[in-house]
Structure 1
Amino acid sequence: MKTSPAQALLAGLLPSVAAQSCPDYSSYAKTRHEPFSSGKHAHASMRPAPACRTFNSSTVESLLTNTTAAIADPDLARLFQNTYPNTLDTAIRWRGHTASNPSEELAFIITGDIDAMWLRDSANQLLSYLPLLEPDAAPNNPDSIASLYRGVINLQARYLLTSPFCNSFQPPAESGIPPTTNPAASGDTVFPAYDSAKVFECKYELDSLASFLELSAAYYEATHDAAFFGKFSWLDAVQALLTTTKAMTAGTYADDGTVLKSPYTFTRQTTRATETLANDGAGSPVRKTGMVRSAFRPSDDAVLFQFLVPSNMLFAEALARAGLIVAELEQGEKAPKGLAEDMAAFSKGVREAVTKHGIVPVLSKNGTGVETVYAYEVDGFGAAGLMDDANVPSLLAAPVYGYLANVDAVYQRTRARVLSAEGNPYFMAGSVISAVGGPHAGPGMAWPMASVVRILTSDDDDEIVRVLRELVGSTDGLGLMHESVNSNNASQWTRQWFSWANGLFGQMILDLHLRKPHILQQSFQ
C-alpha cells in the first residue's frame, strides 16, 4: 500500500523539515486556532491542514459540508466540523499489510497522545463512521472506510491471539514504530504473562473483547462481506475469545469450598485503589452466575464486583451478531460446524444471567416502595453496585449498542437513577454541565461522552436541547470534546485530544439530523 505524506510523517519516515510543517496534534489541540466561530463561545478551528491529516476521505468531507449546512448555530456547527473527522484527521497512526501476506490489511489507530491501540477505543472510533461504511467499489481500496475497518479487525485479531486478556497493544512490527514504554505497567504482576514489546497494558476488560465482536458485526452488516472473515485469522481470534470468556464465567469457589485458581490475576504497586485488584490480584469473590467476569471497567478502573453488567450486555449482544457471520461461513464450510450455535447459546445464557442477577430491587426515589433497576456490578452473592460510569458500555448506553430499547421499563427506571445525584454517586451536577462521571477523573468531573449518550438515548426535545447547550459551552473555547470537565468550571478539564469522544459527538449530530432535524435549527447562544 502506498504511504501518504501524512502517514509517512506519523511513522517518522519524512525528514525533520516536513515534520515541522505538521505539528504534534497533542500540542496543537491545546491552542485555539483561527478562524473562530461567530457565536458567543468563539470555538476554534481545530482540524489539521489537509496534508497533515492521517486519512482523507471525500465522502467524509461531503458529509461534513451537507450536515453543517443543516446546523443553524455557529458554535454547534464548528463543534461538528472539528469533532466528527477527528479520528481520521489525527489518529490513523499507521496503515499497511501483514509481512507474511500482502493481501491482509492492517490499521493501527491511537486514541490520542499515546502510541498504543486500545481494542475498545479503536473499535468505537471506527463505529462513528458506520453511516459511511459500504462495500468497496474496487478490491483493496486503500482510501475507503471499509479498508480501515478491515485493517483494524485484522490487527485486533492478531492482538487477541497474542494476549486475549489484554486491553491495549503496541504498534505492529510491520509499522516500524518502536514499542512505547508504559511506566505505570512496569511493575505489574500479571497472569498470564505477556510480552511488553507487543502489549502496552494488560488489564482484562470484557468490553474490549465485546468491542472486537461488535466492530466485526458492524462491518458484516454494512457490507455483507462474509468472505473477508474466512480469509485470515478472524475465526481463530473468535475461538480464543470464547475460550477466554468461558474461563471467566467460573466462580471463586468449587462446590466443596475449594478456592479455584483464577484464570487471570493483576496487581500493581499504586496509590490508587482503582489501579489494582484485591486478593492478590484475583479480585473480589464471585459466585458462578452465567455472566462473564471483568477485572476492569471500560474506564480502565478496577471493578468492585466482577460481573460488570453493561459489559455483559454488550458482550451478549455482540456475540449474537458475530455468530451470524460464523453461521454464513459454516454454510460455505469455512468455519467449524457448531461454532455459530455455540455462540448463540452462550449469548442467550449471558442475557438470562443479566436478567436474573443484574436486575435488583431498590427503594423508590420517593421512599414509598420498591422498584427494580439494573445494577452496574454484581457478585452473584447478592452484593450490587448501584451507579454508572461515563465510559461506554454503560447502563445509560444500553440502547446505543442494541441490548434493549430506550422505552424498556427497567431501563427507564435505571436511566432516571443514573441521571440523578440522589441515585448515582458519580452523577456530577453543576452550572456548566451535569453529566455522569466516574472514579477515573474523580468527583466533580463530568464526562461530555456521557452527555452525548444521554442525547442518543432520549426522545425528549427539552432534555436534548438542554444537554446540547451544555456541551456547546463545555469546551473552554477549544471546540473539541474533553475527557472530563469540572461541572462548575469549563476551564478545568482533562485531555484535549480524545478522538473517541469527538467521534461520538459527531455521531450524535448525525443521529439528530435524521431523528430530530428541527433541533439543529435552534440557537444555543
Structure 2
Amino acid sequence: MGAMTRPTLDPAVTATVRAAADRVRATSGPRVGDLVESALLRTLTDTVTVGEDGTAFVITGDIPAMWLRDSTTQLTPYLRFLTSCPPLADLVAGVVRRQLACLDHDPYANAFNDGPTGAHYDPDDVCDDPHVWEQKYEIDSLAYPVTLLHTLWRATGRTDVLDERAHRVLRTVVDQLRAEQDHDTSPYRFRRDTDIPTETLARDGRGTPVGRTGMSWSGFRPSDDACTYGYNVPANLFAAQALLAVGELAADVLGDQPLADDARALSRELVAGVEEFGVVGVPGGPDGRRMYAYEVDGLGGVLRMDDANTPSLLSLPLLAPDVLDAEVWRTTRAVVLSPANPYWYSGSAASGVGSPHTLPGRVWPIALAVEGLTGTAEDRVRILDLLARTDGGTDRMHESFDVSDPTAYSRPWFSWADSMFCELALTVADDADARRS
C-alpha cells in the first residue's frame, strides 16, 4: 500500500464539521455540540491514515488494526455530507478501496493490518497471514463494505471505485454467502488455544452443528464472540439487504446481469430462511406473538437475546429496512428492551442493552444510540442527554459502562461509539429542523 500518512484536513471538511456541530449546539446545547465537534474531528485526524495509492486505513481507536465493520460504522455520521463536501466523499472512497482490497485478500478475515506487518491478536492462531490481524469469520464483514460502497455510489454517482477489483469482490461476497449455506462443506476453521469458549470454535474449529436452513453460516458475532448457534439472524438480514445493493450495482453499473440475478435470488433465500427458522414465539407471551431470534441452528436450538454490537436485532430498521418484517421487529424491540433479554441491564444511571462480550451490568453507548435512532424523536432526545451524562467525565463515548457507575467503563477510546453518538445528535438536529419546517 506504500507509506501511510495522517491526512491534513481539507478546510471544507473542517468547515462542514463545525457547521454540523453548530446545528447540534443550537438544538442540544453547547456541551453536546462540543462533544460532537471533537469526536468528528478526532476520528478523521487520529484513526485514519492515507496511503500513497489513495486508500485509507482506519483503526478502531485503541487497537492498531482495521475492522471491516468498525471502519464502516465509524464513517456513519459523515455519510450525510457526501454530496455537500467532496473531500469527505474522497475519504470514504479511499476507505472503500482499502476494504475491497482486504476482502479480495481474505474474505474470511474480520480485521487487517496496515500491510504485511505480521501483527496478530494471537500469534498462535491457525491463520498466520501477515496481512491479517484476526480471521474470525463474521457475515457483517462482507455486508458492511458493500453497503458503504453502495451508499457512496447512490449519494455521489461516482463509479471510479467500481473497478475490476470491486466487481471481483462483489462476486466473492455472493459466492461465499452461498457456500456457507452448507457449512459442512466449508474449508473454514478457527481454532485458538484458550479457556474462553467464545474465543474459539467447537468441533476442531468448525463450530457447533447446524442443519441447512437457507440462511448463511457465521462463526462469530459482530462482537467477535463465537456464535452459540451458527445462523445469526440479524447478520443474515443485513446480508440480505447488502445483496440487494450488490444486485443494483451489478445491474446498473457493472452490466453483470447474472451477478445481479444471483445476488437478488440469494437475498430472497436468506430472508426465507429467517422467516422459516428465525422467527419464533415470544417467551411467556400470548399465543401468536412472534419475534426474531438472535441465533438458531436449524436443529431446534434457539437463542432469544440481543447483543449491543450491530448488526443487532434492535438495529434492523437501520441496516435491513427492505427485508425485515416490521410487525415482528416491533415485538422483538419490546423484548430486547426488557428483562426478557438477558443482556438488558438497568441501574441508577442508565438502562439499555449490553453484551456477553463485556462484564454483566454494563450497557453500551452504541446500543443506546441505536435504541434512539430506531425509536421516537422523544427517545432520541432522552438518550442523547443520557449519553452526554454518562461519559465518566472523559468527554468520550466508551465501549460499555456500568449502569450505576459510568466512571467504570471499558475501552477509553472507542471511535465507533463516538460516531454513533454523533449520528444520534445529528438526527436530533434533523428532527428539530423537521418540526420547524
Q: Give the TM-score of the pair, scaled to structure 2.
A: 0.92
Match of 2:34 in 1: 78
Give the Cα–Cα distance (whole angstroms) in 2 for the partners of residues 85 and 459 of structure 1: 28
**Aligned: 1:205 with 2:161:** no
Give the Cα–Cα distance (whole angstroms) in 2 for the partners of residues 65 and 264 of structure 1: 45
**Aligned: 1:121 with 2:70:** yes
Task: Report if aligned partners of 1:247, 1:263 keep a CA contact under 8 Å in 2.
Answer: no
| Greater fraction of residues in helix | 2
Give the Cα–Cα distance (whole angstroms) in 2 for the partners of residues 406 and 489 of structure 1: 36
Task: Report if aligned partners of 1:86, 1:502 keep a CA contact under 8 Å in 2.
Answer: no
Partner AA of 1:131 in structure 2: R
Partner AA of 1:473 in structure 2: R
Find the partner of 2:230 among 290, 294, 306.
306
Task: Report if aligned partners of 1:87, 1:499 keep a CA contact under 8 Å in 2.
Answer: yes
Shift of the alpha carbon at 1:86? Answer: 3.1
Q: 1:330–1:475: structure 2 CA closer, same or farther, 3 Å change rule?
A: closer
**Aligned: 1:487 with 2:403:** yes
Match of 1:383 in 2: 301
Shift of the alpha carbon at 1:308? Answer: 0.3
Partner AA of 2:111 in structure 1: S
Give the Cα–Cα distance (whole angstroms) in 2 for the partners of residues 403 and 416 of structure 1: 18
Match of 2:218 in 1: 294
Q: Give the TM-score of the pair, scaled to structure 1.
A: 0.78
**Aligned: 1:512 with 2:428:** yes
Give the Cα–Cα distance (whole angstroms) in 1 for the partners of residues 325 and 32 of structure 2: 28
Q: Larger relative contact order (C-alpha < 8 A, sep ≥ 6)?
A: 1
Task: Give aligned-pair identity as a percent.
Answer: 35
Give the Cα–Cα distance (whole angstroms) in 2 for the partners of residues 390 and 222 of structure 1: 28
Q: Deviations over 1:329-386 (max 9, x none)?
A: 344xxxx441111111111111121122111012344xx5452100000111121110
Name the SS for the 2:57 alignment partner: strand
Partner AA of 1:474 in structure 2: T
Give the Cα–Cα distance (whole angstroms) in 2 for the partners of residues 406 and 361 of structure 1: 17
Counting only pairs closer than 5 Å after superposition, residues 22-171 of structure 1 correspond to structure 2 as 57-97=13-53, 105-134=54-83, 144-171=87-114
Q: Deviations over 1:283-323 (max 9, x none)?
A: 11111111111100111111001100111111110110232
Match of 1:235 in 2: 167
Find the partner of 1:186 among 109, 119, 123.
123
Q: 1:330–1:473: structure 2 CA closer, same or farther, 3 Å change rule?
A: closer
Give the Cα–Cα distance (whole angstroms) in 1 for the partners of residues 435 and 358 of structure 2: 31
Name the SS for the 1:449 alignment partner: helix
Shift of the alpha carbon at 1:509? Answer: 1.2
Match of 1:46 in 2: none
Shift of the alpha carbon at 1:508? Answer: 1.2
Unaligned runs of 5+ in 1: 12-50, 98-104, 138-143, 174-178, 252-259, 521-525
Q: 1:340–1:361: structure 2 CA closer, same or farther, 3 Å change rule?
A: same
Q: 1:72–1:469: structure 2 CA closer, same or farther, 3 Å change rule?
A: closer
**Matched pairs, number:** 436
RMSD: 2.7
Find the partner of 2:262 among 310, 317, 342.
342
Counting only pairs closer than 5 Å after superposition, residues 340-489 of structure 1 correspond to structure 2 as 340-365=260-285, 368-403=286-321, 408-421=326-339, 423-459=340-376, 461=378, 463-489=379-405
Q: Deviations over 1:464-494 (max 9, x none)?
A: 3433332121101111110000111111001
